[in-house]
Homo-oligomer: A and B are copies of this chain.
Amino acid sequence: MKELWSRHCRELVPYTPGEQPKDGHFIKLNTNENPYPPSPLAVKAIREALGDGALRLYPDPSCTVLRQAIAQELGVDPEQVFVGNGSDEVLSLAFSAFFEPDRPIRFADVTYSFYPVFADFYGIPYEEIPLDESFALPRAPFMEPCGGVVLANPNAPTGKEMDFCDLRAIVESCPDRVVLVDEAYIDFGARSAVELIGRYPNLLVVQTLSKGRSLAGLRVGFAVGNENLIAALNTVKDSFNSYPVDRLAQAGALGAIQDVEYFRCTVNKIMNTRSYAANELEHMGFYVCDSAANFLFVSHEKVSAKKLLDGLRERGILVRWWDKPRISNYLRITVGTEEDMKKLCATLRELIALHS
Contact = CB atoms under 8 A, between A and B. Distances in A.
Given A86-B243, A242-B15, A243-B17, A6 B53 contact: no
Q: Interface SS of chain A: helix, strand, loop or mixed?
A: loop
B240 A121 contact: yes
B229 A4 contact: yes
A258 interface: no
Interface string A206-234: 00001000111111000000001100101
A51 to B, nearest CB: 9
Q: How many copies does the complex hold?
A: 2
Given A20-B57, A215-B56, A238-B14, A4 B85 contact: no
B235 A54 contact: no
A59 B238 contact: no
Contact of A57 (B46, B57, B86, B216): B216
Interface stretch (A150-158, A246-254, A271-279, A348-356): A246-254
A181 interface: no
Contact of A56 (B37, B232, B246): B37
A60 interface: yes
Interface stretch (A91-99, A163-171, A308-316): A91-99
B56 A214 contact: yes
A89 B5 contact: no
Contacts of A20: 57-61
Contact of A58 (B33, B58, B92, B234): B33
Contacts of A22: 60, 64
A28 interface: yes
B55 A215 contact: yes
A219 B239 contact: no
Given A98-B4, A219-B243, A244-B219, A55 B236 contact: no
Size class of the contact patch on chain A = 35 or more
A178 interface: yes
Contact of A12 (B12, B46, B114, B235): B235
A119 to B, nearest CB: 10
Interface in A1-42: 1-9, 12-18, 20, 22, 28, 31, 33-38, 42
A329 interface: no
A43 interface: yes
A219 B246 contact: yes
A217 B247 contact: yes
Nearest to A65: B22
15 contacts: A3-B228, A4-B177, A5-B232, A20-B58, A36-B56, A54-B217, A55-B214, A56-B215, A57-B217, A85-B241, A86-B241, A117-B238, A217-B248, A246-B246, A246-B249
Interface of A: 1-9, 12-18, 20, 22, 28, 31, 33-38, 42-43, 46-47, 50, 52-61, 64, 85-86, 88-89, 92, 96-101, 114, 117-118, 120-121, 176-178, 201-202, 210, 214-219, 228-229, 232, 234-249, 252
